[in-house]
Amino acid sequence: MTANQDLLDLIDAFIANELALAAYYNACLEAYPENAEKWKILKCEEEFHAEVFRKIRASAEEHPGQWRMGSFFAQTVKLVCKSVKDKTEELKLGKLNPRYAVNFIADVEQSLIESNISRSFITELPDFKELLERVQTETVGHKQLLLSLRA
């Protein structure tokens, strides 16, 4: 696989992961409607993050020399995505209690924070650096919002 194909594969993994997170939050919205506003915020922000990664993909295809792999591997992101999808199915089947559902996804968000999404790709394009920082900042906010659901 070429370096550019590895990069596109990683971007695709991030798109899929953000959409999986949005689907998880949508399932939480349906399962735990008493916190509907918070679930909606989380879902919408994950959908926005998927759009950010779509824009990154378009830029990487158009200007491959402007992009390099950062500190993530596609396989790792794919494993996280699979885990989120599996838990989403369990949630839809009523197999997760609310506390576990929140703790699980808070741990996922924490792992993304610790890995620092803003360093997932290397570019000198200022608009994209700003977008990646926004994704990182909002991910930190997700963890804080989820912690408020633990109370």
CATH number, domain containing residue 117: 1.20.1260
Sign of CA dihedral 100, 103, 109, 114: negative
Give the total number of structural domains in the chain. Answer: 1
Determine the pLDDT at residue 77: 95
77 closest CA partner among 111, 47, 48: 111
Question: How many percent of the chain have pLDDT more than 70?
Answer: 97
95-119 pLDDT, tens digit each: 999 999 999 999 999 998 888 888 8
User: 59 lies in which domain range?
Assistant: 3-150
9 closest CA partner among 60, 63, 84: 60
107 closest CA partner among 28, 45, 21: 21
Tell me which of 32 and 2 has the higher pLDDT: 32
Determine the pLDDT at residue 2: 67
